[in-house]
Amino acid sequence: MATRVLLVGGGVAALEAALALRDLGEGRVSVEMLAPEPQFWYRPLAVAEPFGLGEVRHFDLAELAAAAGATFSPGALSGVDAVGGLVQTSAGSTVPYDILLVACGAGPSPAVPGALTFRGPADTERIRQLLEEIVAGQVGRVAFVVPWGAVWSLPLYELALMTAAYVAERGLDRVELALVTPEEEPLQLFGRAGSEAVRQLLEQRGIALHTGSWPVEFVDGELRLVPEEKIAVDRVVALPRLRGPRIDGLPQTVDGFLPVDAHGQVHGVADVFAAGDITNFPVKQGGIAAQQADAAAEMIAATAGADLTPQPFRPVLRGLLLTGGQPRYLRHEITGGAGDVAAASPEPLWWPPAKIVGRYLAPFLAAFAGVESPPEPPATPGAIPVEVEFERETIEGLAAPRPEVGAAAEGEDGATVADAMSTDPLVVAPEDTLGEVAEKMHARDLGSALVGDYGRLIGVLTARDLLRAFAGRAHPSEARVREWMTAEPVTVSAATPIEAAVTLMTEYGFHHLPVVDDERPVGMLGLRQAARQTHARTRIGLGF
């Protein structure tokens, strides 16, 4: 009998996985897709839409699934019973699987209070309105900001550059634009040559660049940044911070991402894979999502008995960074008497323009839409080929960095986490059952336990997690810690200033913070003990 593979999601990663499984599965797999929306959204052109340079496209998902050899069922995943091989949907039904691939993406949440958050197609109209306000002279200064965390920041650079071109084309030379990013260099992901090219491009377009700056909030006409700085602006456009949806029964990071290995297997949960934006890989890009889906599909096909050696995910960012031969992104066409119309520019920032590079998905979508293969890249002087292969060791540094917690505190009186932490935390194993851990926590009157694996901290399990598990009918002697813990928790060291730790706890809404020495759990900081240690109030938060 064929292995039942359930693909959760109907986006880039799920479709790429369906196509890869059709190719590699040797008929040994049957594939079902589960997604709440009946459409596949092709979002890259969302950036160009407000400027009249492109349109977001969507396709009927059931039709795409059928063409990819899969069936489509409407539904949203809410939980996984890995022991029983079942997923639960938010409508209360269950769907059985032999192998599960979770590819349900990540949702955007506002990262900078007061800013216009650009999530994609949903915000086209708001950007269009902003452009109108600029043209009407109501808005003269705009900042485009990248928050810290896992984001695909290219669309923001494109928005800033397109706005600059739009403004220049209309002779609005008094409009001031700025780009603010926590990265040390603009578009750092693209390597040194790419960053340098983008820096020059921003300069040519008159966009002031602020690197190493974390946007906190936009209030009373001021964009507040960490470290201490303020920029007076009329509007702020920010990228959202991405977060994964809550999935009961699977380990998730604080931001809801699923920790996976190089074959896409979710750590410690048998027969469950994940790919795309929902994983803990910090670069949230369609090409990367497709590469992850390919690696997972190879492993799934091999598990189902197909004759192949699965290759691990080797993330490579590919494309051509176009720096633009002339400072023009839009060109005017005079339409007899009807005024100037901005027409499609042959100069996107990135090649292939507005296209998600997936080994199977790109040709499949092109064929489905009746489009010919993409045209050759324009011969633009100064175009820089980008082929960045990310090393495993450097992966953590790929997300826009979070501000140092110490930098956010004020009024330090020298007190550190060591002064308030408990030094005898409860450390449990990932394979312990929830029942065992609940007993231990109850016996010691603790609200949380640290999860250690070979001496390394890998998670935290709180009383809230236990409540969630038992409310979801998890069995105390079957459900394991690994499935319900928060993976890759935010930690502090004993030497962290206490105010900084309190800031972190307040901002995230944590009641407990694990304390580590290197990666070894050495203590636990409770909010109450920490608050007792400090009367100093924190002045600047982290902006979320």
Of the candidates 501, 337, 541, the residue with the CA atom closest to the CA atom of residue 406:
501
Range 33-52, binding ligand FAD (CB under 6 A): 34-37, 43-44, 46-47
Count of residues touching ligand FAD (by CB under 6 A): 34
Q: Is 362 in the site for ligand FAD (CB under 6 A)?
A: no
Amino acid making up residue 58:
H
Binding-site member from 120, 327, 406, 472 for ligand FAD (CB under 6 A): 120
Q: Is 8 in the site for ligand FAD (CB under 6 A)?
A: yes
Q: Is 186 in the site for ligand FAD (CB under 6 A)?
A: no
| Secondary element (H or E) of residue 30 | strand 29-35
Tokens 């669309």, residue? 155
- Which are the contacts of 505, defined by CB distance < 8 A and separation ≥ 6? 511, 513, 525, 527, 530
User: What separation in angstroms does the CA of 454 have from each of 13, 148, 261, 457, 487?
Assistant: 33, 31, 17, 8, 15
Q: Is 79 in the site for ligand FAD (CB under 6 A)?
A: no
Q: Considering beta carbons, is residue 9 or 521 the nearer one to ligand FAD?
A: 9
Binding-site member from 80, 99, 104, 231 for ligand FAD (CB under 6 A): 104
Q: Is 152 in the site for ligand FAD (CB under 6 A)?
A: yes
Q: Considering beta carbons, is residue 111 or 356 the nearer one to ligand FAD?
A: 356
Q: Is 277 in the site for ligand FAD (CB under 6 A)?
A: yes
- Which are the contacts of 61, defined by CB distance < 8 A and separation ≥ 6? 10, 33, 35, 37, 38, 39, 40, 72
Q: Considering beta carbons, is residue 186 or 240 the nearer one to ligand FAD?
A: 240
Q: Are 96 and 80 in contact (CB under 8 A)?
A: no
Q: Is 147 in the site for ligand FAD (CB under 6 A)?
A: no
Does the N-terminal peptide bond of residue 352 adopt cis geometry, omega within 30 degrees of 0? yes
Q: Considering beta carbons, is residue 77 or 146 the nearer one to ligand FAD?
A: 77
Q: What is the DSSP string of 45-99?
A: GGTTGGGTS---EEEEHHHHHHHTTEEEEE--EEEEETTTTEEEETTS-EEE-SE
Q: Considering beta carbons, is residue 121 or 435 the nearer one to ligand FAD?
A: 121
Q: Which stretch binds ligand FAD (CB under 6 A): 23-31, 208-216, 248-256, 274-282?
A: 274-282
Which residue minimizes CB distance to ligand FAD?
11
Q: Considering beta carbons, is residue 30 or 292 the nearer one to ligand FAD?
A: 292
Of the candidates 279, 249, 253, the residue with the CA atom closest to the CA atom of residue 264:
279
Q: Which stretch binds ligand FAD (CB under 6 A): 98-106, 406-414, 428-436, 495-503?
A: 98-106
CA–CA dist 45, 105 (Å, integer): 18
| Interface with ligand FAD (CB under 6 A) | 8-14, 34-37, 43-44, 46-47, 76-77, 103-105, 120, 152, 155, 245, 276-278, 284-287, 289, 354, 356
